[in-house]
């Protein structure tokens, strides 16, 4: 190899190194640019909601009913109350059913049987069904059809319950699976029955994870608009639901109604209601995080 060749090779190596460095810089530019853009979009989203909504946030917004004529006396009481009721109703339905299903699949089901695999695959698929389809189910099966209870609070709770049930089952299963098998062996070896083992050792050990998962699933239910629109939640009612069989609305529905209003002051109220909705969600997420940190069982 001549000296010239060696020099050329070295030069080529340096050039190659430079190209590599250039590519890395370019990529870094793209990467930080993309992240920055996403971050900016997020800031704009929060900012727009805050700028438009905060001026309307007053005590009156919580205590007044929505008005169709005068934005200055309008509030979201019926929507806030409706959302709280809906959440409780959904929880009452989804917690026992979700945990029972999760217990069956994790503790009892023989995975080699085709029907148990069918249940599992089915739940995975249900979790991916668009929420608007649950609205159709609620309309045709709960509001009308077999149950036929009308567009009332109970119908809303059941529809949202069916919607988040697969998610609750999936998170509950994960928590139950995290309990080591040695705990089950220990309990069974002491003469406990299957159910005693499950109810007194497995379930309490999985409690923190299940509670956290349920709260996060419920916060998903609260933000849903489409299914409630489809089953026919009331728009801007000037009353709170007085029972399970009463008409109702919820914050997302109220927000939607306000965005459709030609009066821009009402559109701003949509932002105010969004802030209330976000605060509720943040509160629920906060509770979930605190519970997880305090009670999570480490093995």
Nearer CB in complex with other proteins: 135/157: 135
CA angle 147, 149, 153 (to 5 degrees): 125
Kindly state the smallest distance separating residue 88's Cβ from other proteins, in Å.
18
Kindly state the smallest distance separating residue 239's Cβ from other proteins, in Å.
17
CA count, 13 A, side-chain hemisphere, 115:
3
Residue 254: which of 59, 74, 72 has the closest Cα? 74
From the centroid of its chain, how far is CA 148? Answer: 28
From the centroid of its chain, how far is CA 46? Answer: 18
Kindly state the smallest distance separating residue 48's Cβ from other proteins, in Å.
4
Restricting to residues 220-279, name those near other proteins by CB under 8 A.
220, 222-226, 229-233, 252, 255-256, 259-260, 267, 270-271, 274, 277-278
Kindly state the smallest distance separating residue 2's Cβ from other proteins, in Å.
27
Restricting to residues 62-81, name those near other proteins by CB under 8 A.
none
Restricting to residues 171-230, name those near other proteins by CB under 8 A.
180, 182-196, 200-201, 204-205, 216, 219-220, 222-226, 229-230
Question: Tokens 């069974």 label which residue?
Answer: 188
Nearer CB in complex with other proteins: 188/287: 188
Q: What is the dihedral of CA 96, 102, 104, 108, to 10 degrees?
A: -140
Kindly state the smallest distance separating residue 99's Cβ from other proteins, in Å.
8
Nearer CB in complex with other proteins: 3/193: 193
Q: Does residue 13 belong to the site contacting other proteins (CB under 8 A)?
A: no
Restricting to residues 143-172, name those near other proteins by CB under 8 A.
143-145, 151, 162, 165-166, 169
Q: Which stretch binds other proteins (CB under 8 A): 2-10, 42-50, 57-65, 70-78?
A: 42-50
Nearer CB in complex with other proteins: 4/57: 57
Kindly state the smallest distance separating residue 21's Cβ from other proteins, in Å.
9
- Of 57, 136, 149, 178, which one interacts with other proteins (CB under 8 A)? 136
Kindly state the smallest distance separating residue 229's Cβ from other proteins, in Å.
5
> Which residues have a Cβ under 8 Å from the Cβ of 65 and sit 6 or more positions away?
74, 75, 77, 78, 236, 237, 238, 239
- Of 104, 149, 244, 291, which one interacts with other proteins (CB under 8 A)? 104
Name the 3-class secondary structure at 108: helix
Kindly state the smallest distance separating residue 3's Cβ from other proteins, in Å.
26
Restricting to residues 280-299, name those near other proteins by CB under 8 A.
281, 285, 289, 297
> Which residues make beta-bridge pairs with 247?
152
> Which residues have a Cβ under 8 Å from the Cβ of 205 and sit 6 or more positions away?
179, 183, 297
For 280, phi then psi, to 5°, come to -60, -45
Nearer CB in complex with other proteins: 70/193: 193
Name the 3-class secondary structure at 65: coil
What contacts 24+ positions apart, CB below 8 Å, involve 128-132?
130/226, 131/163, 131/224, 131/226, 131/227, 132/226, 132/227, 132/230
């Amino acid at each position: 190899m001549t000296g010239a060749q060696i020099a050329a090779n070295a030069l080529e190596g340096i050039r190659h190194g430079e190209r590599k460095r250039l590519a890395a810089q370019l990529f870094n530019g793209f990467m930080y640019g993309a992240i920055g853009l996403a971050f900016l979009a997020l800031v704009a989203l929060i900012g727009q909601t805050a700028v438009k909504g905060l001026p309307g946030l007053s005590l009156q917004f919580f205590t007044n009913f929505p008005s169709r004529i005068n934005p200055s006396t309008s509030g979201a009481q019926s929507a806030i109350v409706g959302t709280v009721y809906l959440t409780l109703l959904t929880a009452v339905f989804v917690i026992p059913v979700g945990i029972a299903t999760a217990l069956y699949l994790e503790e009892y089901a023989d995975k080699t049987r085709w029907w148990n695999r069918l249940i599992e695959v089915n739940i995975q698929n249900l979790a991916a069904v668009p929420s608007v389809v649950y609205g159709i189910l609620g309309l045709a099966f709960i509001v009308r059809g077999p149950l036929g209870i009308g567009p009332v609070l109970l119908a809303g709770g059941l529809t949202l319950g069916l919607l988040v049930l697969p998610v609750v089952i999936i998170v509950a299963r994960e928590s139950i699976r995290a309990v080591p098998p040695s705990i089950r062996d220990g309990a069974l070896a002491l003469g406990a029955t299957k159910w005693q083992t499950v109810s007194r050792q497995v379930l309490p050990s999985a409690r923190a994870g299940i509670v956290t998962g349920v709260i996060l699933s419920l916060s998903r239910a609260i933000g849903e608009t489409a299914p409630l629109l489809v089953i026919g939640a009331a728009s801007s009612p000037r009353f709170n639901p007085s029972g399970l069989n009463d008409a109702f609305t919820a914050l997302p529905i109220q927000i939607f109604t306000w965005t459709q209003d030609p009066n821009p002051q009402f559109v701003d109220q949509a932002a105010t209601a969004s802030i209330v909705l976000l605060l509720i969600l943040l509160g629920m997420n906060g509770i979930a995080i605190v519970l997880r940190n305090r009670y999570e069982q480490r093995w």
